[in-house]
A and B are shown apart, each in its own frame.
Chain A
């Protein structure tokens, strides 16, 4: 992979980020509601004072100039102040982000651990009983909405069996191994909900990708050289078949973030997803804007990483 490809790919990400910031800012600017609406009804504030305040804060400037100011402030890390939480938005998000990334990362790992073996096995014996069962289960998996599976798991494992806690706690009292054990216990359900939903749609991609590769000539060559079937599949087929899957995982990310918001809400995980919901319910506009932008930026960052990995795995792409 050439350095040129890396640089070009990183440069493509910048217009996308700018595009998203324009979309978000336009939405905010088009939205009805005036931050000064409370002052209008307040008889103690004369109209001239209100006008002066507006002019001073730049609310009467043309929209592009307001956008540039906003962008400049965002770039300097000045993301505003959360009135509901009484702290800077950037601090708030930095506190919440690790929990979200941990849950999403673990869920992606689980999804791959389930989807890759099942998809490969299904593709090696297409239209067999196993393939049909895997296909049906995949359909069931991505037709079950995350909020329903979450509630079902709580119903079975927390209410009926009383094995797992259904409220995620960040202030675990235990230390050492006991802390890890508690952490695993409270993460199992959210990670499973998100990971299995994700894995279900991944299975079909893996299967079709393996089916595309398994028919190629070099696989037949490997077989005719007398290499065992298991080795052919593992070393020759799967390695190449998984390359497009990298991109598909990245393309699925917007959906994963949606699922993360729901799971965080159900299991009360203090991540940025539940922060978004809480901010919406509390009318905390700076936080709502910032969290939406962080989600969008994360999608672009991971897409860029996936593209770079793709270029590294498949050098043909990098030279195009």
Chain B
């Protein structure tokens, strides 16, 4: 480089090869064995859900009363339900919805949380106090009862506007996301408070960077580590929340077999067809467990305070 003059010609050769930030994080992530295993499990689940319908071509709503409530067999690897519908096909289809609800709700929660946290963190003073009071208020709201109340009140309007499946999807994503942003907002605010006093931010400000540029280019990228961890765990809790709603019979309509919905249908046949309940339950459990472990691994990898 033209502008920099090394202290001596051999100065560069002595330093060990520098790892990039991503490579360093990956090195730390790999040390968490359960997180790595979980990544493969989650990857397999996602692959099965995305590519499954192209391989397993049984329709999800093919009714066959001669084969109802059968246990696992070659024809139906995960058995059939009370209408003789293939459970594997239904779980593959439902998994798409369950997983995408989790991802979309996480995106909503992160968006709202980062926005409010950044506003509180940059403004401080009265705005900060007001926003934090709001955050604390939302934190003390009981989520599931409120979720049920909102769905009860707004279900029909959204169904009319976006169709049965789309309306419920938007509803569930917005409500779950809208009730999960508080931890993210607190994290972002705390990060902003410490980062905005740092020298590099001061340097950027001295160079004439505006408020928006300071936030977007300098502070926010450095605050993202804990936010990514919180976002990962949000996916897991959103999947549980959606399954809980469907399990209570208040989520997606009966013809949309999300994992929770299949469990809801299966619970009255526990004595004669336990497989019907066990497979969707195991799918939810595996997805949530692997996401939680990945979140734990990411915490090791991205939390700079932690030294391994």
Contact = CB atoms under 8 A, between A and B. Distances in A.
Interface residues of B, number: 44
A139 B270 contact: no
B144 A32 contact: no
B149 A289 contact: yes
Contacts of A28: 153
Contacts of B199: none
Contacts of B278: 152, 155
Nearest to A281: B249
A151 B141 contact: no
Instruction: Describe A's contact surface by its main secondary structure.
Output: helix
B140 A143 contact: no
A299 B270 contact: no
Given A31-B154, A145-B244, A288 B149 contact: yes
Interface in A17-31: 19-20, 23-24, 27-28, 31
Contact of A136 (B34, B248, B281): B34
B267 interface: yes
Instruction: Describe B's contact surface by its main secondary structure.
Output: helix
Interface string B144-160: 11101110111011000
B153 A258 contact: no
A262 B244 CA distance: 8
Contact of A32 (B136, B139, B154): B154
Nearest to B281: A148
Contact of A292 (B146, B157, B243): B146
B61 interface: no
Interface stretch (B106-114, B219-227, B283-291): B283-291
A300 B138 CA distance: 11
Nearest to B249: A281
Contact of A139 (B152, B156, B293): B293
Nearest to B34: A136
Contact of B157 (A27, A32, A140, A152): A32
Interface string B261-294: 0010001001100100110010011001100110
Contacts of A144: 285
B296 interface: yes
A83 interface: no
Contacts of B154: 31-32
B143 interface: yes
B247 interface: yes
Contacts of B146: 292, 296
A152 B288 CA distance: 17
B288 A143 contact: yes
A277 interface: yes
B270 A159 contact: yes
B156 A145 contact: no
Nearest to A262: B244
B277 to A, nearest CB: 5
Given A27-B153, A139-B292, A143-B288, A303 B140 contact: yes
A148 B136 CA distance: 31
Interface in A233-278: 251, 253-255, 257-258, 261-262, 265-266, 276-277
Given A16-B140, A147-B263, A280 B152 contact: yes
Interface of B: 34, 133, 136-137, 139-146, 148-150, 152-154, 156-157, 236, 240, 243-244, 247-250, 260, 263, 267, 270-271, 274, 277-278, 281, 284-285, 288-289, 292-293, 296
Interface of A: 16, 19-20, 23-24, 27-28, 31-33, 136, 139-140, 142-148, 151-152, 154-155, 159, 251, 253-255, 257-258, 261-262, 265-266, 276-277, 280-281, 288-289, 291-292, 295-296, 298-300, 303
15 contacts: A20-B137, A27-B153, A139-B292, A145-B243, A145-B288, A147-B260, A151-B270, A154-B270, A155-B278, A159-B271, A251-B139, A262-B247, A280-B152, A281-B249, A296-B142
Given A24-B149, A28-B153, 18 more contacts: A19-B137, A20-B140, A23-B137, A33-B153, A33-B156, A140-B289, A143-B289, A144-B285, A145-B244, A155-B274, A258-B142, A262-B248, A280-B152, A280-B250, A288-B148, A292-B145, A296-B146, A300-B140
